[in-house]
Amino acid sequence: MNPRILTVRDEEEIKEELERIGVSEEGKQILKGKGSFYLIKLEGLSSQAANLLKQEMLAIGGDVAVKKEVVSFTVKRSDVLLMGTEAHYRKIIPRLRRQPFDLAIVSSQIKQTLDNFKKDNFTIPLGGKILNLAKKTAIMGILNVTPDSFYDGGRYTCQDEALRRVEQMIEEGADIIDVGGESTRPGSERVSLKEEIKRVIPIIEKIRENFDVPISIDTYKAEVARQAIEVGANMVNDISGLRFDPKLKKVVAKCDVPVVITHIKGTPKDMQDNPQYRCLMGEIISYLREGIKMAEEAGISSDKIIIDPGIGFGKTTEHNLRIIKRLPELKSLGKPILIGASRKSFIGNVLKLPVSERLEGSLAIGSLSVFQGANIIRTHDVKETRRVVDLIRAVMKS
């Protein structure tokens, strides 16, 4: 008999199992979507909508968890947890379109969330190149031209050393070089616009002169981004999620380059002062969703938006670990996911190790992130990360 629980993760794997068993084409169509189970959370529905939604889901074999007072209408609103297979959701979507209490809107949101979650064919245009994230996980190599970054501060302030490091990262398999001129470590002070430009513009010019590699400018300042793009940068990596400088989104839109929208709670100076969340993933997703909306309304192309949950940016060690564990939830936004956890303090806190000894921890987090859906890994350690990530992808694609 040999009974076992299958650890299939997606429709393709379910399809393979049906093929092995020898299910008919008609049977495959009937079974399509019945093996993919999803929990979908909706926040702040009216009690009327929550009750009706529960009835509709029960009628098709799914279920809904609501606040206990909803049934007696003694509360006005409730969060709702939908429980069902993809087949259940495909059945309920058209049924909800005919219902009152804004359930037609809920129907559209459920459909969009499911469609987003299943996206995996991302391509990012970078200058004259196309970064195909469906074929491989991209590695973003870190080049901090700062005197005070937490790991490599002061190492690459000399232009010759910086260029040697860029050459090394390219040889080791970096797909993007991320140039930063202001430390955003916890407690760091902002540097002036003049100083940041002085640090990053000359090295970006030299990288572009010497290497054919996509360059990212790690900044939240519109003027730094504008000048960096003029001399050869191909994308913008903004830790503020377009919040710190309202002009930045217009620069990105006008220059027509990709942008990384990152979640942060507070500012680098105060972000680690006892950060607290009512609902960690809910708040991060809401922040990123609003950032995506801001970007698109400013004219930034939808296919040029990347999201980053902001590991270490206003999060405790436990927050960071939970983000990695629940990373697939970010797929509901339908954008490529970037993770930048390289050598950060939460790794040191767990392993009780200084920054110089956090390589293995960084590789572990990078591996888990790729397995959980990350498309780009930002790292100080390009060679090791490239090897580990490629192996993880081989396992996933086997």
| Residue indicated by tokens 């379109």 | 97
Whole-number pLDDT of residue 8: 63
Q: Which of 378, 386, 393, 397 is catalytic?
A: 378
Residue 344 annotated to the active site = yes
Whole-number pLDDT of residue 280: 95
Whole-number pLDDT of residue 1: 62
Mean pLDDT of the chain: 92
Per-residue pLDDT tens for 74-97?
A: 999 999 999 999 999 999 999 999
Q: Where are the domains of the chain?
A: 33-117, 123-397
Whole-number pLDDT of residue 190: 85
Whole-number pLDDT of residue 344: 94
For 259, which DSSP code? E
pLDDT above 60: residue 153: no
Residue 207 vs residue 273, higher pLDDT: 207
Whole-number pLDDT of residue 157: 66
Question: Mean pLDDT lowest for which of 113-127, 181-195, 305-319?
Answer: 181-195
DSSP string of 225-242, one letter each residue: HHHHHHTT--EEEETTTT
pLDDT above 60: residue 150: no
Q: Which among 349, 325, 326, 328 is positioned nearest to 337, based on CA atoms?
A: 328
Per-residue pLDDT tens for 242-254?
A: 999 999 999 999 9
Which uninterrupted H or E stretch holds 6? none
Cβ-Cβ contacts under 8 Å for 292 (sequence gap 6 or more): 261, 305, 307, 333, 335
What are residue 375's phi and psi, to 5 degrees?
-105, -25
Strand order of the β-sheet with 63-65 is 37-46, 77-85, 63-65
Is residue 103 within 8 Å of 52, Cβ to Cβ? yes
CATH architecture of 123-397: Alpha-Beta Barrel (3.20)
For 337, which DSSP code? B
Euclidean distance between CA atoms 142 and 154, whole angstroms: 13
| Residue indicated by tokens 């999060």 | 315
Per-residue pLDDT tens for 341-356?
A: 999 999 999 999 999 9
Alpha helices (H) in the chain, listed in sequence order: 11-21, 25-31, 47-59, 86-97, 103-117, 159-172, 193-210, 222-230, 248-255, 280-298, 317-325, 345-351, 359-371, 382-397
Whole-number pLDDT of residue 96: 96
Whole-number pLDDT of residue 196: 95
Euclidean distance between CA atoms 25 and 38, whole angstroms: 25
Per-residue pLDDT tens for 19-76?
A: 888 888 888 787 777 878 899 999 999 999 999 999 999 999 999 999 999 988 899 9
Per-residue pLDDT tens for 328-345?
A: 999 999 999 999 999 999
Residue 378 annotated to the active site = yes
pLDDT above 60: residue 138: yes
Cβ-Cβ contacts under 8 Å for 4 (sequence gap 6 or more): none
Q: Which of 249, 344, 358, 386 is catalytic?
A: 344
pTM of structure: 0.92
- Residue 135's Cβ-count burial label (10 Å; 0-12, 13-18, 19+) is exposed
Average pLDDT rounded to a whole number, residues 163-186: 93
CATH entry, 33-117, from 3.40.1130, 3.30.1370, 3.40.50, 2.60.98? 3.30.1370
Per-residue pLDDT tens for 260-303?
A: 999 999 888 888 888 999 999 999 999 999 999 999 999 999 99
Residue at 252: amino acid letter: V
What is the total residue count of the chain? 398
Cβ-Cβ contacts under 8 Å for 340 (sequence gap 6 or more): 140, 308, 311, 377, 378, 379
Whole-number pLDDT of residue 69: 93
Cβ-Cβ contacts under 8 Å for 272 (sequence gap 6 or more): 186, 187, 314
CA–CA distances in Å: residue 372 to residues 34, 150, 357, 388 = 22, 27, 25, 15
% of the chain exceeding 70 in pLDDT: 95
Question: Mean pLDDT lowest for which of 34-43, 146-155, 179-188, 298-307?
Answer: 146-155
Whole-number pLDDT of residue 235: 98
Whole-number pLDDT of residue 5: 60
Name 65's bridge partners: 81
Question: Mean pLDDT lowest for which of 96-110, 137-151, 368-382?
Answer: 137-151
Whole-number pLDDT of residue 24: 86
- Residue 141: band (very low, low, confident or very high) from pLDDT cuts 50, 70, 90: very high
